[in-house]
Structure 1
Amino acid sequence: MSLDASRWAWQQQNLKASEKLVLLAIADRAGENHTAHPSIKRLELDTCLNRKTIIRSLDHLELIGLLLPTGEKVGRTRQVKVYQLSMVPERHALEPSSKQSQKRNSPKSGTVPLLPSNSPKNGTPEQSQKRYSEPTSIEPISEPYEISAARMQKKMPPDFKGVVNAYNEILGDDLPRVVKITKAREKSIRARWQETFGSQSKGNDLNFWRRYFLHVRKSKVLCGLKENTDWKGADFDWLMNEQNMAKVIEGKYHREGDWRTDIDLQEAV
């Protein structure tokens, strides 16, 4: 059991009660490396939810990036997915910083701070002062590395071909295949590439697009398999529309009775 994982799970917001309960149950069984592999049966016992609700919750938690399938499966039948809990902060990240510790050790707190020695080995006081005051050859970083990395990632050019290939690979047998990347399609991909769809789901991550298209494939409605309807299903352009995409992610087309029963709903990315 990882206290870090449990604390992280409690902090997640904008989830349905069933999704939060499933996430907490998985976090409760996570190890120190923040991976867990409870079976559906185990989650049924832990949460008192039915199988379909648990599968729907897992699917949504994967889609928004809180649970990342590692691609590994365990268990007697090798059908139990191993999940990586995404971006769980370590306990040391929550501990007081060195600056806070130094502040506590200031003269006001009754202790004497460490000062550079004035011995000949370390030079005269003037030399020591000069050494400490001279600028280094390395300029200080103007902003945290994490912010710089995020900005650099955001500026990555859209992978038009990567997104289209993921669509054709996953949905090409159920929906019309894309045979040409038009200017209009480049525009829609570029727009979605800049967006964030969940706490850890970003448009410039091809793994997100694979999760998205797998999520689409699990819906009878989106694949044109819903009974008593004339709609033949979605296509690439419909799925890339901003408003349509929000409805898909929020579960409008994955309600009770909308899930396909002819495929493996526990497909891994």
Structure 2
Amino acid sequence: MSLNAITWARHQKVGKGPAKSILMALADYASEDFEAHPSIETMQGWSEQNRKTVISNLKYLQDKGFIVDTGRRVGKTGSIPVYRLKNPTGKRVEVGPPDELSTSDTKSGTSKQSQKRNGTENGTVPNSTGSSTVSDSKQYRKRPGSSTENGTQNYQLTVIEQKEQCADQKTVGAPTSKFERFWQMWPQSPRKVDKADCRKHWERHNLDVKAEVIIAHLQAMKLTKQWKDGFEPAPETYLNGKRWEDGLPPTEEQLAARAEDAEWWLDASATERKGAEMGVRARNAEEPVPYYRVFVAKACGRGPWIDYVLKHAEKSGSPKFYEWVRTQLGDALLPPDDYAS
């Protein structure tokens, strides 16, 4: 699992909720090079979509440029495609696929900022041993004045900063332990207490080996609305509950989409998303939403949407349309007290 890939994926504007779910599933299984090869069955279990819908959404993501088929195949039978997650705009980004990062120096493969910081011209102490007390794992930091492109929050990968921090620490003295980095990164609030107990828990469970995952998750959580509003847990609660294994909460856009989908039959976009989820063909450009809604309602079976499409057809003033709706739904889905006029 790559937290870098998950953070990138969850901020993409895909345009379809079910397709976004498949993109998140791929990101959940992606390596650090943004390549993933979960099977269709795995993505079905992850997204709770049927096989036809998963395949349809994979094609949608490819058409929109969010993923590409590398042409490689893996698995026992050599039939599982390997996909690469990709920024559809083609622009350089600061968190995303490795070959699209704006922080990379494509000629040397190293950061220009890092080269500048590690030089002797600016007064810092160069690393003569070739090693660092700070891990080169990737973490996220929101850059001051960062903008949003294609719905992607620009987070600065702090590999550079960790090397800078290492140089600074050599200048002033003692290095920072992984626990201290965790503690310093935790937001200041009345719940930031019991440092000694947290340290004991950290050492007892040897969390140094998971420090980079924990710190990357902490950085991402600090950017969520919940934590920004001051609803972060106490550090000890976070550690005891292994909260870094819970993943990241849904974005505000995802929550809004879920609210719409709760009563999907009342909204045109939500109806189309529900249709894709249920394996109903895509709505034709010239097809009125009320007609398409009937096919989606039929695929969903009994529910309040059936009453809605019937009442809507009845109020349309078109007996022909009303009879067409009744015929499409069939006797099995008509309410017991529904009678043809």
TM range (shorter): 0.3 to 0.5
Greater length-normalized contact order (CA 8 Å, ≥ 6 residues apart)? 1
